[in-house]
Structure 1
Amino acid sequence: MEITSATYTTHAKAIILGEHSIVYRGSAIVAPVPVLAITVTATINSSTAPSYDFDGSAISRDQIANYYPGIDEALNSFPLPEGLSLSLTIRSTIPESRGLGSSAASANSAVRAIYRAIKNLTYFSEGIRLQRPHLSDLDTIVARCEDRVHGRASGLDQCGVTADCTCLFTSDRNGLPPMITTLPNLNAYLVVADTGIIKNTKASVAAIKRRISAKDPQVYSAIETLSSISDSLKDRWTHNHLEEIGASMNRAQEILSSLSLSLPELDRLISLLRENGALGAKLSGGGCGGICIGLFRDIDKADAAVEGIQKHECQAWRISI
C-alpha cells in the first residue's frame, strides 16, 4: 500500500568548452539543456515489494546496479526500516551515454525525489524516528553517485544539470572545492546534435590519462592549450564577443580531433552546423561519439541547422544561451 510519494525533475547539460582539460586543471563552460530531462518519482510503500519502472519497462534491482549505478547508489543512501519499501518510476528524454549528463541528471532526480518522499513520511518504530540525510548532504550524495559511475567525477556534469544558466566551472584551486560562476545570457542560440553513437567518457578520459602518464608531449600541449582557451573565455563571454567565442570553439575542436576524440559522424554534423551558419562548432563531452554543438547568433539559422540535421536522421535541439 502506498504511503507517500514525491517527484523531482532534472535537465540535461552540454559542455561548451573545457572537456578533458577540466580533469586536470583550469575552467570549463557548461550550459543547461532544459528541453531534455529525467523525472523520478519515489514511492514509499508498506507490505509491498519494491519495483522499478524505467520508461514503462520493469527492471530489477540487479539491472539498476549494472546499468544505472548512480541510481543504485542513491537507493543505497536512503535505507528504510523493515516493513517499508521504496519504488522508483523513471521517465527520461535524455539520450544515454551521449555527453548530455544523463547519469548526473538521473542521480540528482533520484536522490531528491527519495529525500522528498522520506521527508513527507512521518514514521515511528518503537519510538525511534526515521532517520534521513540533511538537505545540505544531498549534493554530496549525488557526487558519490557520480563517482560510482565515472570513477572520480570532476563535478562538472553535476553543476551543469542543476544550473539554471550557463556557468564557468573552475577546478584546481589548491584543494578547495570548485568555484562556480554564473555567466550572462549571450542572447544567442546553441544547437545540440546527437550522432546516436554511444560513447564512454570514462574510457576516453582514461585513454588521455595513459598518454599523459607516458609523457606524450602532444597530449601535454593539447591539454595546456584547451585549458588556456577555456580560462580566457570568461571576458569574451561577459562582453558578448560571439565571433571570438565561436573561433575558440573551432580551435578546441581541432585540438580534440588531434587527440583522436572525434569521429567521422561527429565531423559530418559539425560541418553541417558550420554550413548552416554556426559561428563555432565542436564535439561536446568525452568524444568518440555522443553529441556536438554549434553556436548561432540568429534563431532562424539555428532552426535551419536543426532541420538540416534531422533530415540526416539525427536528433537535434535548439536552446537559448
Structure 2
Amino acid sequence: MAYEMPVYFIKGQNPETFEPGKLFRLVIGDTGIEAPTKETVANVRKAWQNEPGLMEGYFDEIEKITRNGKIAIESGNAEQVGELMDENHELLNSIGVGHKILEELVEIAREKGALGAKLTGGGGGGNMVALAEDKETQKKICEAITEAGYSAYQTSFGEQV
C-alpha cells in the first residue's frame, strides 16, 4: 500500500499503484515473532536449487495469482480476492515460508468469516492479512486474534461504498 492505494510490483518492473473497485476491509494479525527474512530467503533459494522445476512451478502460480488478484481488486470482486489469498497462502506454505502461528492466525480469521487470509511479507513469522466482507466480520476477526493472545489491527483501502 502506498498513498492508501494498492501497489502492483513485479521484479524488474516499476511498481504501479492502481484503483480498487470498492472498499476492501482488512485485518492484520501480528504473530509477535520477528520474521527471519534473510533465513527464509536462504531456505527458499536452497529448495529452488534442489528442486528447480517444482519451485519454478510454485513461482509461476504465485505470479498468476498476483495478476488475477490485481484484476479482482480493480473490479471490486472481494470473493475472488479472498479465494486468491487462500490459494496464495497454500503456495507460500509449499515453498517453505509458513509458520505454525501464522497458520493459527489464518485459521482463526477463516473461522470468523474471512473471505480469505494469508501470510504476508517474508514469512517465517511476522504478519498475516485477512479480508473481511463487512465491518462486523472485520471486528470479529480482529477480536478473535486478540483473544488468542496476538495483536490485530483493522484497516481498509478503496472507496467508501
- The CA deviation at 1:278 is 0.5
Report 1:1-321 matches (<5 A): 31=1, 160=2, 163-173=3-13, 178-184=14-20, 186-321=22-157
In structure 2, list runs of 5 or more residues that go unmatched.
none
Q: Which runs of 4+ in 1 moved over 6 A?
A: none
Q: Using structure 2 for the length normalisation, give the TM-score.
A: 0.89
- In structure 2, give the amino acid aligned to 1:187: L
**Larger helix proportion of the pair:** 2
Q: Which has the higher strand share?
A: 1
Give the whole-Å Cα distance in 2 for the aligned partners of 1:257 and 1:215.
16
Deviation string, structure 1 residues 88-108 (Cα, Å, up to 9, x no partner): xxxxxxxxxxxxxxxxxxxxx
Superposed CA deviations along residues 195-253 of structure 1, whole A, max 9, x for unmatched, are 11111112212221232234432211111110111022222111111111100000001
Return the alpha-carbon distance in structure 2 between the equivalents of residues 218 and 269 of structure 1.
Answer: 27
Q: Is the 8 A contact 2:20 2:75 kept in 1?
A: no
Q: Calculate the aligned-residue CA RMSD, in Å.
A: 1.6
Query: Quick check: 2:24–2:131 contact (8 Å CA) kept in 1?
Result: yes
Q: How many residues in Structure 1 have an aligned counterpart in Structure 2? A: 157
Q: Which moved more, 1:208-217 or 1:279-288?
A: 208-217
1:305–1:179 Cα change, 3 Å: closer
Separation in 1 of the partners of 2:147 and 2:107? 14
For 1:247 and 1:196, the matched residues in 2 are separated by 26
TM-score, length of structure 1 as denominator length: 0.46
Q: Any idea what SS the aligned residue of 2:9 has?
A: strand
SS of 1:282's partner is: strand
Q: Which letter does structure 2 place at the counterpart of 1:166? A: P
Change (3 A) 1:297 1:172: same
SS in 2 for 1:232: helix
CA offsets per residue over residues 234-283 of structure 1, 9 Å max, x none? Answer: 22111111111100000001111112211221111101101111000010
**Gaps spanning 5+ residues in structure 1: where?**
1-30, 32-159
Percent of residue pairs bearing the same amino acid type: 27
Q: Look up the SS of the partner of 1:249 in the other structure.
A: helix
Larger radius of gyration: 1
Native 8 Å contact 1:167 1:183 kept in 2: no
